Amino acid sequence: MGFSGNLDELKKTIIAGVIGFAVGALIMMVYGYDPISAYRALFNGAFGDLYGFSESLANATPLILTALTFAIGFRGGMFNIGAEGQLYLGACAGVTVSLFHLPFATGFALGLILAALAGAIWSLPVAILKATRGVHEVISTIMLNWISLFLAFYLVAEILVDPLRAEKTISIAEGARFPVMVPGTSLSYAIFISLGAAIIVYILLWRTVIGFDIRAMGYNPLATTYAGIERWKVILFVFITGGLTAGLAGAVHVMGRPPTYAIYSGMPSIRGLGFEGLAVAMIGRNHPIGIIISAIFFGGLMAGGRMMQLFAQVPLEMVRVVEGAVVLFLAIPELIRLFSFLRTMGTLHIFRSKRS
Amino acid sequence: MRGCSISKEESSLVEGKSDTILEGKGICKGFPGVWEHLILDHIDIDVRAGEIHTLLGENGAGKTVIANCLSGFYMLSEGQIYVKGKPVTLKSPRDGIRHGIGMVHQELALVKPFTVAENIALGLPTSDLTFPLPEVEDRVRELSEKYKLYIDPLARVEDLSAGEQQRAEIIKVLYHDPEILILDEPTSLISADAEHLFEALNSMAEMGYGILFITHKIKEALEIGNRVTVLRLGKSMGTRETAKTDKTELVKLMFGEHTPAHLERKPVGSKRVVLEVRNLEALAADEEPALQGVSFSIREGEILGFAGVSGNGQSELAEVITGLRRATKGEVIIHGKDYTNHNPRDIIRAGVSHVPEKRREVGVIEPMTVAENVVLKDIRVSPFSKGSFVNISRVTAHAKEIVSRFGALVSDLWKSQTRILSGGNIQRLILGRETWRMPKCIVAVYPTQGLDAKAIDHTWELFMRLREAGSSILIVSEDLDEIMALSDRIAVMSNGRIVGMFEGSKANREEIGLMIATGASGSEHSQ
């Protein structure tokens, strides 16, 4: 229902990617590294063998979910960057369940549900403030992200802490873990939660009435009001759904991430997944299917980047620079749309404040 | 010298009052690309000295084409023009002027910062470095007095009213001593001032000019002129003595058996009020008062037309009624229930349709597909969605039906964006979406703006059908013809107030035009 020109988008994306890699190669050449061996290492590390591909998919698992958070918002004309904070709490909620000794299935299900709910609850103030007081979501989500960060630090250090190893939380109970899919890798069956969520979001956006309302509001808020679509309902739905997927992202990253199934203090493996989801969504053109592809690509960059360092002797900093160049170019088509989008949002904001 | 020549000709013209001075026989005109039917199909027409001959026809009947053929702007495809019995070939407007044929075009061609005299001097073949301005001024004064045109040659064109500009244009043509004056829809630009023009034309006819007066308004054809020729789709439907014909006959000649619905309306039967507005006030986007003490009601099966220059509160009124703008005071009552400041959704549910002013910005969501825009308001209800899932096959079938029933040209329903449609097709889509349910109440703002003549016809018919079916319709339009044709009652808005309310049948075009122009009325005091 209404998603023409996807092939065109794909073409644009591929061209942008090629340019990005070319620029990356140029940078490496300038600093005296061999781009061909570097890219070979990158590709082999990411997709060259089962191990590499599994690692790429494992990295993609939470990214798909946080990207969906942003994409739902973007489709509805909202700039939801709250996934980061919601993700922390989702992860903590997933671990919390393991404080209690619950039977196998209950613990597993409860972990996922609580994590999703934690994310949703953390998104509620954003939705309510926006719907009732017109508070811009960028402001409120940034604030809530910080609150969530320190709340999570506290939870990790004080409540969920492993009594035997103070640098991490307790591990998820055996029964509440996602089974490993490819032995010896980080890839667990949690990837199906992400893929399922993407398909559900796809159906939601293009096959349901609320999805229609979300897209309509994203394109033209004025016409949406004219058509009798209630703004506050769309806002509430967008943020709650986004919160659910962001919360789940936290859960799959602890419940489905071998080998430790725990959060380390400072949350090094979790921090940033929310904002990276934003980039994933942009490169995936905010389309669930595009997001799956783009998240795997991102996961591949993470996995392959290590190999670049290892086998092509490219320092980590240079790996990041090259990755940055590629991502930037890939995001350009959507960034252009984003700028025009922010501009209309700005004018609408003026319009609103004048009226109320 | 010119003055002498005209008085000589005049005397000769007055003597032979029924002499035919201009005659077209078997005039045919086609244009490359539209040859499949002739724009003019063997038209015979003649203009006598001392008469006003009215050429009546719908938009697109070919009236302007005849005028252009007779005055030398167009070459004929077939047929012959005779001036005073002698066959002539007109190759350019200059030839026309040489044979004494002057044409006043529908669009005025005056240079605004120049005076009337300067404008006329511009078109003279003798104009060079020695501008004959004083002579021109004298002549203009003379002509103006003689034919009661009341034009000051030293007045700057931009300071003149539309009617005065029209008459200045006439003087410009009279300056060349024509014997025949062709006026193409001279009343389309002037509403309140038509009386002056008619007076001038009558006095010119009395002095022996032959005048061909083109109009699409039956009322004018009956009001002015000695004979009337009716044109329909490039064919002449016959010529009648104005005194011996009537509205019914002219309507039949103009439209054939297919009479436009708005010309044979039945009176409003019901007394039930559907929409009532009491003492409404609202602010515009700039916080200035946009509506002040607006009150009216519309009954079942009644059309209330809002006339007035746009920007006098009509848009805000439509927005307040449909819930898009807050009322600061007053009430909006639909079917006896208070809907003041309810959200648009409630008002849609109460049965109010809205054809918005900004069709691209508000009426549709441009990046969405045609099918999605057709169900923009209906997608929430069965059968277009079940539970919360969209029933795509039902939506498709419905969109297909609306698109074909309302004649919107679309390339496909589900693929391309609505953005690529023309304004007219978007309007057809909106009209289809807003009226297919035969709503109880419709608020339509500039519903035919930018549509072609045929589409306007269809839209008017649509509104009349809805009226018959019992809809209460509020129409805002700047086109006084549209308001006059459709409305059972006419409200005139000025500066956010209703300054006049007229019964449609008794409405006087001139009075309304004047009221629109000045914004003044007697009813203001009574409020």
pLDDT score of A355 more than 80 = no
Contact A354 B287 (CB under 8 A): yes
> Looking at the partner chain, which of B356, B369, B389 has a beta carbon nearest the beta carbon of A2?
B369
pLDDT score of A297 more than 80 = yes
Contact B343 A228 (CB under 8 A): yes
Q: How far is A352 from chain B (nearest CA, A)?
A: 10
Listed ranges A15-24, B190-199, B246-255; the one with the highest mean pLDDT: A15-24
Q: Which amino acid is at B494?
A: S
Q: Which amino acid is at B161?
A: S
Counting one residue from A and one from B, how many pairs have CB atoms under 8 Å apart?
83
Average pLDDT over residues B223-238: 87
* pLDDT band per the 50, 70, 90 thresholds, residue A345: low
CA-CA distance, B198 to B443, in Å (whole number)? 36
Q: Where are the domains of chain A?
A: 6-349
Contact A1 B392 (CB under 8 A): yes
Give, rounded to a whole angstrom, the gap between the first and last alpha carbons of chain B: 60
pLDDT score of A173 more than 60 = yes
Q: Which of B324, B365, B412 to mutate to test the interface with A (most CBs of A within 10 A)?
A: B365
Q: How far is A208 from chain B (nearest CA, A)?
A: 4
pLDDT score of B522 more than 80 = no
Residue B14: the pLDDT is: 41
Q: Are B366 and A220 in contact (CB under 8 A)?
A: yes
More confident of the two residues B7 and A37 = A37
Average pLDDT over residues B124-152: 79
Q: Which residues in A lie closer than 8 A to residue B415 (C-beta atoms)?
A: 4
Q: Which residues in B lie closer than 8 A to residue A207 (C-beta atoms)?
A: 389-390, 392
Q: How far is A130 from chain B (nearest CA, A)?
A: 18
Q: Which amino acid is at B288?
A: E
Q: Which residues in B lie closer than 8 A to residue A216 (C-beta atoms)?
A: 365, 368, 372, 376
- The CATH number of domain B2-109+179-256, selected from 3.40.50.920, 3.40.50.300, 3.30.56.10, 2.30.40.10: 3.40.50.300
* B388 vs A: CB within 8 A: yes
Residue B120: the pLDDT is: 84
Tell the CATH superfamily of the B273-351+439-526 domain.
P-loop containing nucleotide triphosphate hydrolases (3.40.50.300)
Contact A4 B415 (CB under 8 A): yes
* pLDDT band per the 50, 70, 90 thresholds, residue B127: low
DSSP-based three-state secondary structure for B503: strand
Output the furthest CA–CA distance in chain B (Å, rounded): 88
**Element holding B240 (H helix, E strand):** strand B235-241
CA dihedral defined by A187, A189, A191, A194, rounded to 10 degrees? -150
Residue of A nearest to B364 (CA): A223
> Looking at the partner chain, which of A226, A230, A355 has a beta carbon nearest the beta carbon of B362?
A226
Q: Which residues in A lie closer than 8 A to residue B362 (C-beta atoms)?
A: 222-223, 226
Residue A354: the pLDDT is: 38
Q: Where are the domains of chain B?
A: 2-109+179-256, 273-351+439-526, 369-438
Average pLDDT over residues A162-169: 90
Sign of CA dihedral A244, A246, A249, A255: negative
User: Whole-number mean pLDDT of chain B?
Assistant: 84
pLDDT score of B188 more than 80 = no
CA-CA distance, B374 to B425, in Å (whole number)? 12
pLDDT tens digit sequence for B139-172:
888 888 888 788 888 888 888 877 788 888 888 8
Contact A209 B380 (CB under 8 A): yes
pLDDT score of B12 more than 50 = no
CA-CA distance, A250 to A116, in Å (whole number)? 9
Q: Which residues in A lie closer than 8 A to residue B355 (C-beta atoms)?
A: none
Q: Which residues in B lie closer than 8 A to residue A229 (C-beta atoms)?
A: 345
Contact A208 B354 (CB under 8 A): no
Residue of A nearest to B343 (CA): A228
* B361 vs A: CB within 8 A: yes
From residue A121, alpha-carbon distances to A44, A97, A124, A323 in Å are 41, 17, 5, 34
Residue A115: the pLDDT is: 97
For A315, what's the count of Cα atoms within 13 Å in the CB-facing half-sphere?
A: 5
Contact A226 B349 (CB under 8 A): no
What is the per-residue burial (b if ≥16 Cβ within 10 Å, else e) of B169-200?
A: bbbbbbbbebbbbbbbbbbbebbbbbebbbeb
Q: What is the ipTM of this complex?
A: 0.84
| Percent of chain A residues topping a pLDDT of 90 | 66
Q: How far is B66 from chain A (nearest CA, A)?
A: 45
**Can you name the CATH fold of A6-349?**
ABC transporter involved in vitamin B12 uptake, BtuC (1.10.3470)
Average pLDDT over residues B42-49: 90
DSSP-based three-state secondary structure for B36: coil
Residue B13: the pLDDT is: 41
Residue A76: the pLDDT is: 95
pLDDT tens digit sequence for B376-405:
999 988 889 988 899 999 999 999 999 998
pLDDT score of A349 more than 60 = no
* B354 vs A: CB within 8 A: yes
pLDDT tens digit sequence for B450-469:
777 677 888 898 999 999 99
Contact B376 A220 (CB under 8 A): no
pLDDT tens digit sequence for A311-332:
888 888 888 888 888 888 888 8
pLDDT score of B248 more than 90 = no
Please choose, from the candidates B176, B126, B171, the residue with its C-alpha nearest in 3D space to the C-alpha of residue B6: B176
Contact A207 B392 (CB under 8 A): yes
* Residues on chain A bordering chain B, Cβ-to-Cβ distance under 8 angstroms: 1-2, 4, 207-210, 212, 215-216, 219-220, 222-230, 351, 354-355
Residue of B nearest to A217 (CA): B365
| Percent of chain B residues topping a pLDDT of 70 | 89
Residue B274: the pLDDT is: 94
Q: Out of A150-159, A231-240, B204-213, pick the least confident.
A: B204-213
Contact A223 B364 (CB under 8 A): yes
**Element holding A349 (H helix, E strand):** helix A316-355
CA-CA distance, B465 to B471, in Å (whole number)? 9
* B258 vs A: CB within 8 A: no
Contact A209 B356 (CB under 8 A): no
Q: How far is A269 from chain B (nearest CA, A)?
A: 38
CA-CA distance, B137 to B331, in Å (whole number)? 58
Average pLDDT over residues B271-294: 92
Q: Are B471 and B488 in contact (CB under 8 A)?
A: no
CA dihedral defined by B58, B61, B63, B69, rounded to 10 degrees? 170
Residue B506: the pLDDT is: 78
Cβ contacts of residue B135 below 8 Å, gap of 6+?
A: none
Residue B148: the pLDDT is: 79
What would the two tokens of residue B108 be? 């005025």
> Looking at the partner chain, which of B285, B344, B388 has a beta carbon nearest the beta carbon of A209?
B388
